[in-house]
Homo-oligomer: A and B are copies of this chain.
Amino acid sequence: MRIGQLADAAGTTPRTVRHYHRLGLLDEPQRLPNGYREYTVSDVVRLMRIRWLADSGVPLGSVAAILSEDVSDEAESDVIADLRALISAVQVEQAKLARRHTRLASMLADAENGNPISALPADIAAALADAIDCAQLPEVSAVLRRERDLLEVLAISGAVPEEILAWYAAAIVDDDQRERSLALLADWSDLEGRNPHSAEAEIEVLSRRLLAHFEHQQTLADLHAAVPTAATGAGLALSLEDVIPDDAQREVVLRVQRRLLEGMSESEGVC
């Protein structure tokens, strides 16, 4: 019997047989005068056993121990431990594959509907992409990108609460609020270009408008409370300086945030 017939009998290839020879899993048979390997039926049996184990997920390095006839106690308990480890590895892998399947399916749905592929829900990602494309001013589009990136990073971290997404969906996707939201963002981005010390009045106005815009202030409070927790919980160690390197811009953002927090705490009793 030659190597091709052996391989055919076991449903594999000559390359694989030679591989097993080199690993010592299958003994090298006698050679014919022309150098060809000459196999017997017992090689077929051995090879099929190896293939069966390999197909069952046993790594080739453990096959020899399982196929060996000697059943010393320690060898057997080694085999049992190996099998247990393999089974839990398979379970881990199954969980991973299940996650992949759902994610890939939603990515495919996104792509088929012409939406961008993103870790964010399709409606939010699409609305943000549209807004970025349609923004007249490049600064507005930059602010929107920053918002989108931050939100997506939080979503990837698996730490973005449902309420935040719902709030975003309402503020950006909903046609009614959308225009006002974008106008606010435009003003905000406009403000970031200004000298923070000569823009006190505008900062005050913008903060009031933002507070007025968010009808559900509790949600805004949740947002501010959740973001740092979510970020650090996911191992994200980003400071505002990382996100906004420019000193003046950062100062404006800090002042607006401060005013917002003041405004929220003032009306806290109301909610």
Q: Which residues of A contact B (CB under 8 A)?
A: 1, 5, 8-9, 11, 40-42, 44-45, 48-49, 51-52, 55-58, 66, 71, 76, 79-80, 83-84, 86-87, 90-91, 93-94, 97-101, 103-105, 107-108, 111-112, 114, 116-117, 119, 149, 152-153, 156-157, 234-238, 242-243, 245
Contact = CB atoms under 8 A, between A and B. Distances in A.
Nearest to A66: B117
A8 B236 CA distance: 7
A51 B117 CA distance: 14
A97 B97 contact: yes
Contacts of A114: 76
Contacts of A104: 56-58, 83, 86-87, 90
SS of A interface (majority): helix
A80 B119 contact: no
Given A9-B236, A41-B242, A117-B79, A101 B91 contact: yes
Contact of A93 (B97, B149, B245): B97
B11 A235 contact: yes
Among all A-B residue pairs, the 6 with the closest Cβ atoms: A57-B100, A56-B103, A83-B108, A45-B149, A41-B242, A52-B156
